[in-house]
Structure 1
């Protein structure tokens, strides 16, 4: 492992009380972010706080300084409206500067609304609605021709 590439291993030791505290902290930060931004969904995040706390502080194998690390664990979030609760966790772990949280909900913020593609520096997060997706046709595909064939 190179400099600054600290790995958070699976099954890190953590007391159940600490995970409960983390879940409460996620809820509190969610209320603060939604109040600051004037948008968001409290209840969606509240029901996932224990899941985020357990995954990110105990279960997932991560390397925040190297988010594209091939041996990292991946978490697929199908409930996009809970992203507001995920932002404080990712900032806490070092995926992006905590100062970004102060810009959530403002024009030009790198932390977008859940319905948009969200990307933070050194962290890729794409949120999509669960369930069937509308079919999108590539209109340009019909116009393309093989070049050099």
Structure 2
């Protein structure tokens, strides 16, 4: 039996962490189909910017490209698969393939950009890259000393 976790104490004591608490809250909730479709999340090693490149692979066997949609909105990557109606002319003796529509959501960190999407051999691969803006990158600050300012004063006299 799963019990709900109450995150309200975090809202009262942590200022500016609303997004983090919302992420924890959404992760604690159960999904109707938590394991379907199966997927992998991979950090790409060997790239020149290793650690900044990721790939999500989703098993979408039986889906055509026109039945799949990928959308990014407010740091949420949503992958949707819509199956066409049932084909009444087909009679199954055993039906083991899950041919149902789905919606899978992934919460993205700030500055993660979707770079590509590829469908091959029943796997939908979505490339992601962390692109930190120049304004957010660390900067080196020159340190002035008292000797340097004294030299400037002497040169001005």
**Fold shared by both chains (TM-score > 0.5):** no
Interval of TM-score (by shorter of Structure 1 and Structure 2): under 0.3
Larger strand percent: 2
Q: Which structure is richer in relative contact order (CA contacts within 8 A, separation 6 or more)?
A: 1
| TM-score (normalizing by structure 1) | 0.22
Structure exhibiting the larger radius of gyration computed from Cα positions:
2
Larger helix percent: 1
